[in-house]
Each structure stands twice: as structure tokens, then as C-alpha cells.
Structure 1
Amino acid sequence: MIRNLSLKTKILLGYIVIILITIGVALWSISNFMTLNEAIHDIMVENYRSVIAAEKMVESLERQDSAELIFIFGQKDKALDIFQENQMQFMKYLSRAEDNITIPDEEKIIKDINEGYQAYLDKFWNLRQLANENQIQKIQDYYLEESMPQFEKVKNETRKLLMVNQEHMKESQQKANNNASQAIYSTIVFSVLAVILAIVLGIYISNLIIRPTKRLTEIVKEVADGDLEQVIEIDTKDEIGELAAEFNSMTQRLREYEEMNVSKLIAEKNKSEGIVKSISSPLLVTDDENKILLINPRAEKLFKLEEEDVLGNHFLETIKEERIFSLISETLSSGSEQSGKDSRVIKFEQKNKELYFRVTTTPVKNKSGDTKLVVTLLDDITHLKEVDEMKSEFVSMVSHEFRTPLTSMNMGISMLLEGSIGEVNDNQKELLEVAKEDCERLNNLVDDLLDLSKIESGEINLEFDNIQVEKIFEASIKPFVDQAENKGVELVAEGTDNLAVHADLNKITWVITNLIGNALRYTNSGDQIKLSAEKKGHKVHISVTDTGEGIPKEYQHKIFDKFVRVGGDKDKDTGSGLGLAISKEMIEAHGGRIWVESEVGEGTRFTFTLKLPK
């Protein structure tokens, strides 16, 4: 039965058997690794991030309480700076805790923390109002009776979050240890059996192919030596059998050709020659009325149609692709080639597989310079898309691998600074503090990379709601009011006319605060930062505009790429270069887009779009 199969089928069967074996081993290993990874994930990711977030929240909260005491004793400016700095830290880690809810009890605890913390901020605001009245006794009484109890309440809830995650980590560790032992032994046994089976089947299939091939090679060598009487006797019906039959027919014709003169031989050869040209990428040609004149086989397969059925028809009658048609129309009207931009990338689905093509439309002009034809080429970039996804997965993996050693280093340095291991002198302490700052900076970079990877992979948790734009502006401006005032920069929000959007409040607030923070970095005394919102069609356009230094044009097209910093910023400690990349991914996760308009010396305007309420 196997002898009657084609060579392609035999090879395919061999590959299929090996692939099935490989898949079997892979599935078994993946099953073990997923079980193990799930347990490890519980320890190192799900709970560990919540533990770190809880510890940082407690630390920030205690520093805010200390700031209140400093405020009461009269050092108001210093106290406000400390309080606001740690307020942003607290909100940052609270947001991470919200994105990392993995235990049933966590959601309620985080909700209580959020509500309690907002109440604590309100009480601090009231304390500041009392300070303006210079009533020291009232300030002290209010702190003891209102602020301090609320502080203790929020602190206890935060510690409760810490304890819940620590207990869950202990349970997950035991589970991981058990799964690891089982996975090692079972995978070894299964892999050895699979390798043996693959070797046996591989030898068998290869012999089915190699034996007739060797026989064919021997006969060809004899014919090449001039023995045209040789006949290949191979009884298989695969491609080698067909090749043998054609070879026998060729030798028969060669024997006949020997009896022909040279002129007849050349004439016969010319009759049998032909040239076949093909283009591997989908291609079609349309005229100035958008009628299809030519379509190659690859395009027929992509669009699932036959050339004879579509020739002379309007493009949109047969190919329902508005995006391609708009490019063709643009090329006809402008007379220039349209290609190479992200917006020209179109996705198709074939046999449960996603294919990506970059569309290029090229005009064909007559002697007068008028565009009469448009050649549309779809370049397959599916592999490039897959490589980009692999790159994102690699960044995520490396970031996870950095997390554990960085945490160990940070803890070790903290213990040295605290004197837990022994006293350190001033020079040693200074070096350790520098090292700790570097560790924290790397930790922040890893956090940003993980956040970016999470957004790119679609794992970000968005809590959509209908939100007033005015509420978003208030939450975004509040952390920067004093900083802007101290710097002499006017920070204002225009009226929003009761505009609302369908979005995640925390995520959009993060985007705007990131844009305001960038604007403050590049503005000077007397400059202005303005927030505005405008409804356009079915979208709301939200803008952050400043009158600062501006962004050079050579950076504007790549400013939303990862790790990009503008000009002289490369030599400054201005961040990781991921803020705008994360902002772009967050806005796109909301179904919107973000862009920048800037002139050097005049200022910068960042604008993004959000959907209207449902």
C-alpha cells in the first residue's frame, strides 16, 4: 500500500509521525510545566506583586503620617512635598494591587483600602484648612481624633492585604515542590520512549525513499556514460516512479534524436521550450475606473475568487476591502505610490491562521503623466508580526527573570543600611544608598516592562465605566498643583461641558498624569500646561498642551516607541523611555489612538481619543 503513495505523501507521513511524537512529548511537558508554572506563578507573580505593593503602600502611608506631624509642627512646605510624593507612590502601588487580584478576599480588601484612603486624603485636606486659621490646638485635636484613627484603619487594611498574600504564597510553594518532582520523572520516561519510536519510524520511512533513489542514480550515471539502452525498473507509483518513467521515455526519445539531423533537433527543442513567470505575492491591476484588469493566482487564492469571474468588474463588487480600495483611490488622485506605513497593514484569516499583508499601490502613468493603471501588491509580513510577538514575549520573560535577583539585592542592601548585619560607616552608607537607588530604578524599569508586556499581550484588566471628563481632569491635576505652583507654571483645565467617556478611570488618569509630568519637566516659570476635551464625531479628543521647549521633528514619529528619549535627555536621568509607549498601548486598549503635535520653542500638544459612553 505504501508503494502506491506519492513521494510527497511518504515524506509527509514521516514528518507527521515525528511531529505527532514531538507534539505528544511537548503536550506532556507543557502539561507538567503549566502545572508547575501555575504554582510558581502563584508565588512569584500573582502574590509577590501584591506583597510588594502592600509593603510599599504601608511605607508610603507611614511617611504621609509623618508628613502630617511635620505639617502640624509648622514646616508646611516640606510636609506637603513629602505628603504629595508619597501620595503618588501609594496610588501607584494601589493601582498595581488592583491589577493583580488573584485571591477572592483581595478585591474587598482593596476596595476598603481605596475608600479608606480617599477618606484619609479628605481629612488631611481639612487639616490643611485648619492650618490656614492658625488654630494650633484645633489642628492637634483634629489629627488625634480624625486623621490618626483613619490612618490606622487604612494601615491595618493594607497589612491585612499583605498577610492574605503571604499565606497564599506558602500554600503555593508546597504545591510547586510536589509538582516539580512528578514532572521531572514523568517527562524523562516519556521523552526516552518518544525518541526511540521516532528513530525507528525515521529509519523505516527513509529506506522507502532512499532505495529507489539509489537505483535511479546508478542508471542515470550509466546513461550519462552513453549507454542509452538502459531501462529503469522501479515499480513504485510515487514521484520517483514517475521520474523513472519519464526518464525511460527521454532515453527512448534520445535514441530517436540520434537519428535526426541537428536542424530538426533544434526545431523540436524550440517547439517544446516555454517560459513561466509567477509572482509569489498577491497582485492585482485596476484601471482609472477601478475595474480589475489582472489578478494573479496568489491573489485569487487570498480573496477566494477566479480571474475569469472578476475581470472587468469594479473592485468593490468582487473584493469587499474598503481599506485597499481607499489606497487605490488615493493613488489615482495623487499619482504617487502609497506604501510602508502601519496603517497599510491588513489582516486576513485563512484556515484558522492570521495572515498580515503590507499593501503597496503603485501608479502606472501614460506619456502625459496621467495615472491610468494602479498596481496593488500585498507583501506578506506575517513572519515579521510573529517575530515582533516573540520579541515582546522575550522582554516579558527577561523582566520576570530580573525580578528575583533585583529583589534579593534590594533586600540585602536595605539590611546593610539598617545595620541588621553590622554597623557601616558614612562612606559605606553613601555607596549603599547609591546602590539602593539603582536597584529601585531597575525595579521600576522591570515594572514598566512587565506592565507594557501585559498590555501588549492583552492581559491588562480594564474596568470600563461611564466617567465624567471633569472627574478625570481633577484626579490628574491634584498631585501636581503644588509642584506646578512652586515651579511657577500655570496648570489649568478647560471646561468640559459635561462631556463623558467610556473608559477605565485609573488607567486614563495614569496616562494624563504621565503627560503632565513630562510637560512639567520641559516647562519653565511663566509657562502654561492646559488640559482640554472636545467631542468630534463618535469620539472625545482629550489634549494636554504646554508652552515649553517643544519636541524636534526628527523625534516626533518615534517618540511613542520603547526606550526612546529626546535629544539631550539621553544623558539625563529622565526615566526609562517607556512612559509614552505604555500610554500608547493603554489608549489603544481603549480603542483609541494618541499622537503629538509640536514646534521647537513654542510647545507641545499630546492628543488621544476615547469612546463616548454606551
Structure 2
Amino acid sequence: MSLRTRILLSLAPLALLLVALGAAGVMLLDRVGGGIDAILRENYVSVQAMFRLGEAAERIDSSFQFALAGREAFAARQFEANWVVLEEQFAVEAANVTIHPTEDELVSRLRGLKAEYRERGRQFYALPPGSPERTAMYFGPSGLLERFNESKAVAGEILRVNRENMEQARDRARDTARTAMGAFGAALGLVALLLAGAGWYLLRTILGPIRAVTEAAHAIGGSGQLERTVPVFGRDELGRLAAAFNVMTRELRKYRRSNLDRLVRAQRTAQATIDSFPDPVLVVDPAGRADLANPAARALFGVGPTAQGDPGPVWSPPEPLGGPVADALQLQRAYQPDQFDQTVSFRLGGEDRTYLPHVRPIRDPDGDTLGAAVVLHDVTRFRLLDQFKSDLVATVSHELKTPLTSVRLAVHILLEETVGPLTTKQTELLIDARDSAERLLALIEQLLALARLQKPHDEGTFHPADPAELLRTAADAARARADDKHITLAVNTNAVVPAVVVDSDRFGQALGNLLNNAITYTPPGGTVALAAGMTTDGAVVLSVADTGVGIPAEHLAHVFDRFFRIPGQSEEGGTGLGLAIVKEVVVAHRGTVTCESEPGKGTTFRIILPAHLAEGRS
């Protein structure tokens, strides 16, 4: 027997019983409704007619009293109008006499009293107004008042009989409803027994196998128990489901074994690949645990996957790498520096090693984060070569400075003609030699300054300083040169800004380079403005703006490069190291420097530094 047949056979008795209950309910409701309709049709109409008939009779009786009081016209109108109402309500009652014999007798009696009451009323109004006969006809024996009371009593009796009939009909309807409730209760009890039996049968024969399949599915999906099977109950749909489930688990076991072998090979290949790199390579999962690490990364960071291949504990990156790794995992932002000032240093094997870190997010095809790859390129040798180059430049510059100073002094002495007069040609040659010596000396000074900046900084030289005072000091030093070129030098220090922590000498040199650069490229009559302010996040901004020739947009990205000079401005330009020194100084102060320019309208340099907090931290 199929599962469908068993379910249908289990539910068939319930369906038949429900149909029977529905039919019985319809019949009982129709019976109760018919009883209520009989109450309304046979009794309520009579009750309402007798009530209205009594009201009309009272108004007719009042008309006789108004006539005795002298209000003849009003009394006659009231008599005629209410007599019409009385006749209408009596006709309603006469047409609605129930099977109760007493009501028929009472209606016949009321008909006679009504006719006699009508005739005596007409006789009353035929008598002259105010006559004694009228009073006697109303108050006398068998008078109008007595006939009114008899008619009202008969109408009240009819009203009582109909009310009793209504109460009896109500009691019959209530008994019918109680009987129906009892029958329905018994039927519902039977339905409950059948439901319990059908439920037990379904639980035993249907839900049992389904529960076994469900538990096996949870075991496979939750803990990977692919060896789990379910018993096969019969050859119905559930039995075929259980058999198909067992076949599926068998195929899954085969698939897992093949995939596991493939994964192991892929993992070993990936591990062998990164092991072949001499630089430290580390792959972390979204939680920050080390998923892959080559020997260089293990030796440097001391982390890596376990011997069983499981990810190691959560890796806490060292200070320079914490932010880039968090950005790669949370924001999918890559970190790829290419400057020596962005290198990190670690001590490995008893010596300091310098690395250029690269951090890249790893994404799946849907764009979700799978982890991050950290690669540290060992640039120790290149760093040493750069240091050697800087030291060589510093040494050569220092050695050149002394003889060049002597040559410069000799040229100045010759130009002053203290050792004898000079011809015009000799003077021109000495002036060219003096200018060349001055430019060469300036170049040597800037090379020495750049070499000093690349050495480790002494934190003891950093002290809190007022930004406005720094700007005024730099402006005072450059004011003479600005006045010589007829350039207005303005310092705007009206804004209240917090202090900054700086090395006054080095930072003053950076401001001086910006001012000299602005004065050099601003024509006479122009303006150079210095100002101090704050950014929205509370950092301090020092700006140097000029109204000079400006910088073309294609050269803005290179203005801070060493020895870079803007084409076409070589005659007025210097060595190309001034802005490079500015950047070195600002970076040493944990700040940033930006340049905005528009050809023909001027250039603005902004130095952004962290504010010095009240607790002494910056």
C-alpha cells in the first residue's frame, strides 16, 4: 500500500464524520431559526398591535375628557384620528390570531366592545356641548369610561397570552439548542478519538521514518558523519526516500574522499609555493588567524598553522602592520608602499632587517573577504646602499664646503678691490664666479640638511610651540627678501589654534623653504600670506599661499621629489631640494604636506600637524 493510500484511508472516516456533523448542524440551525421566526410571526406582531391599540384607546378616552372640559373641536379631531389607529391595530390582531383558543375568544369579545364603544362615542358627540347628559354618558353605569376599561383589560389579556406563547417558543428554542450542543459535543468527542488514532498511526508509520531521515541529515550537515545511514521502511514513498538517502550518503563519501585528496594536494602546493619565497609571507583568515606561513614568516613572527594544518591562534600584528592588516580584512583596502620612509624594521638573527610591507586582501568571486596576504620584501641591502649614498653625499658635501667657502671669500675680496683695481671684464667674470659659488654653496647646504634629516631624530628636541609664533618667526626671517622684490608678506594669526610639538630649528627650516619658494615665483607687487587654522578632525593647518606663476597640474605630483624642477622655471629655480626637505621635515613631525596650484593664479602649501593635547600627548 502506497503512502498516499494510507493517508487517504486514515483521513476518510474523519471526512465522513465532518460531513455528517455539517449536515446535522445545518438542520438544527434551520429548526432553531424556524422557531424564532414563529415567535416573531405569531406573537410579536400581536404584542405590538395590542400595545398600540391600548395607546389609541387611551387617547380616545382623553378626547371625551377634553370635550367635557369645553374643548369640543380638539376633542372631536382626536377622537376621529385615534379611532382610525385603533381600527388598524385591531385588524392586525384579528389577522394574526394564533392557534391558542383563548386568543380567538378574546378577539371576538374585543370586537364587540369596540363596536359598542364606537357607537356610544358617536352618541356622546351628538349631544349638545356642556349638557348633563354627556357627563352621565361618560361617568354613568355602562358608560364610556367603563367600556374603555373593559376594552383595555381585554387588550391586556391578549397581550399576556401572546407573551406566554413567546416565552414557550423561547423555551422550545433553548431546549433545541441544548440538544444540538449535546449532540455536537458527543460528535466532537468521537472526532477527537479518531484524530488521536489517526495521529498515532501517522506518527508511527510516517513521521518515524521522516524523523530518522531528518536526524541523519543533521548529523551529516552538522558534523560531517557521512557514514550515517537510515533504515528502509517498506517499499512505499518513505522507503524509496530512505533508500535514495543512503545512496546519496554513499556518493558523498566518495566525493569527500576525492575532494579531500585534492584539497590536501592544493594545500601542500600552496605551502610549497610560499616556502620557496625568501621573503616572509603570511596568509591570515578573516578572523586574523595564521592560515599559511613560510619559514621566514614563522621565524620573524613566531606564528603559523598547526602541525595538523589547522589555522594557528589569532595573530596580533606588530605596530607598523596592525592598521594595514585591519584595513585589508575589514575594508578590503590594499597597502602597497614604495618609499624607503615607509619601511619597517625587525630584529632577526641578531641583526636589524628592513622590510617594505605589502598587505593585500584576498576575495572570493562574489567579492567577500577570504583573508589577507602579508608579504615583507627584504630591502635591507637597498636601505644600506641608500644610507651609504646619503653618507657619501654628506661627506663629499662637507669636504667641498670648506674649500668652496675659501673660494667664495677670495672672490668677495677681489670684488671689493682691496688688493688692487679691476677692469670691467674682470669684474664681470668675478661677479659670475661669486653667483656660481653662492649657488654651489646653497646646494651643498641643502644636501647636508637632507642628510641630517635622514638620520634618526632626537625626540628631546621636540617641544610644544605656538603655530602663530612659528609663522611670525619665519616671516621675519624672509621679510627683507620680500621687501627687496616689493612683495607683501602677510601673517594671519587671528584664529585660536592649539600648540604643536615640533623641532623648532628643523620646522623653521621647512617654513623658510616654503617662503623662499613662494617669494621666488611671485612677481613684484604680489602677495604671500601665512595663516594658521584647524581641520574638522582637530588637526592644526599651517598654510603658505602666494599669487605667483603657479604650477601646471601635470607637475603637482612631483613637486616634493628630490632634484625636481618645473620645466620653464629653471632660471628662477634653485636646486630642486627645498620642497623635498619640507616633506622630510613634516613626515618626521608625523604630519602631511599638500600642494594646490593653478597656473597664473598662485600656489598654496598646507602643512597638517597633530595638535598638542593638554595632557602633554600629541
TM-score (norm 2): 0.48
Q: Which has the larger radius of gyration?
A: 2
TM-score (norm 1): 0.48
